[in-house]
Amino acid sequence: MIGGTHGKILHVNLTSGETRIEQPEADFYRLLVGGRAMVAYFLLRDLPPNTHPLSPENLLIFAPGILQGTNLPGSGRHGVGGKSPLTGAIASSEAGGWWGHEFKRTGFDALVITGKAPTPRYLWINNAQIELRSAEHLWGLKTSPAQKAIQAELGDSRVRVAQIGPAGENGVLYSAVMHDINRAAGRNGLGALMGSKNLKAVAVRGTTKVPVAVRNEVNNVAKWLGKNYKELAAWATAGIGRGTQDGLMSLSYVGGLPTNNFGEPLFEKPELLSGERNYEMFLKERDTCQACPITCKQVFENESDNPYQKLDPDYGGAEYEAMAAFGPSCGVEDNLAVLKANELANAYGLDAISTGASIAFAMDCFENEIISTEDTGGLAYRWGDADLLVRSVEMIANRQGFGDILADGVARMSRRFGPQSEPFNMTVKGQELPMHEPRLKHAMGVGYAVAPVGADHMMNIHDTSYTGQGESLKRVNLVLKEKVGPVSNTVLNEDKMQIFHNELNWQHFQDCAVTCHFYPYSYEHLAQALSGVTGIEYTLQAILDVGARAQTLARLFNLREGFTPDDDKLPKRVMKAFKSGPLADVEISEEAFAWAKRRYYELMKWDPETAVPSDTCLKELELDVLLDLIQ
In this predicted model, what pLDDT tens digit does every residue of 458-473 receive, in sequence order? 999 999 999 999 999 9
Distances (CA, A) of 472 to 465, 481, 545: 6, 16, 18
Kindly tell me if the per-residue pLDDT of 625 is higher than 90: no
Confidence of residue 626 (pLDDT cuts 50, 70, 90): confident
Kindly tell me if the per-residue pLDDT of 62 is higher than 70: yes
Kindly tell me if the per-residue pLDDT of 629 is higher than 80: no
pLDDT at 528: 98
Contact 218, 530 (CB under 8 A): no
Mean pLDDT across 242-256: 94
3-class DSSP assignment, residue 452: coil
Domain ranges of the chain: 9-205, 242-425, 442-518+539-630
CB-based contacts of 528: which residues, under 8 Å, 6+ apart? 217, 220, 221
Q: What is the distance between the alpha carbons of residues 378 and 569, in angstroms, rounded to a whole number? A: 35
Kindly tell me if the per-residue pLDDT of 238 is higher than 90: no
Confidence of residue 628 (pLDDT cuts 50, 70, 90): confident
Q: Is 219 left (phi over 0), alpha (psi -120 to 50) or beta?
A: alpha
Mean pLDDT across 381-385: 98
Distances (CA, A) of 576 to 229, 255, 330: 39, 14, 20
pTM of the predicted structure, to 2 decimals: 0.98
Q: What is the distance between the alpha carbons of residues 597 and 447, in angstroms, rounded to a whole number? A: 9
130 pairs with which residues across the strands?
Answer: 125
Kindly tell me if the per-residue pLDDT of 609 is higher than 90: yes
Q: What is the distance between the alpha carbons of residues 361 and 406, in angstroms, rounded to a whole number? A: 9
CATH code of the domain made up of 242-425: 1.10.569.10
pLDDT at 631: 60
- Class of CATH domain 9-205: alpha beta
Other CB atoms closer than 10 Å to residue 608's CB: what's the count? 15
pLDDT tens per residue across span 410-457:
999 999 999 999 999 999 999 999 999 999 999 999 999 999 999 999
Residue 451 CA from chain centroid, whole number: 12
Contact 350, 171 (CB under 8 A): no
Sequential DSSP letters for 53-122: TTSTTS-EEEE-BTTTTTT-TT---EEEEEE-TTTSSEEEEEE-SSHHHHHHTTT-SEEEEES--SS-EE
468-472, 549-553, 556-560: range with lowest mean pLDDT:
468-472
CATH code of the domain made up of 442-518+539-630: 1.10.599.10
277 pairs with which residues across the strands?
Answer: none
Q: What is the distance between the alpha carbons of residues 67 and 290, in angstroms, rounded to a whole number? A: 12
Distances (CA, A) of 304 to 107, 144, 536: 45, 19, 56
Sequential DSSP letters for 510-525: HHHHT--TTS---HHH
pLDDT at 125: 98
pLDDT at 514: 98
pLDDT tens per residue across span 530-550:
999 999 999 999 999 999 999
pLDDT at 240: 80
Kindly tell me if the per-residue pLDDT of 587 is higher than 70: yes
pLDDT at 630: 73
What's the sign of the alpha-carbon dihedral 486, 491, 492, 493? negative
Round the average pLDDT of the chain to a whole number and report it. 97
* Burial tier of 591 (Cβ tally within 10 Å: 0-12, 13-18, 19+): exposed
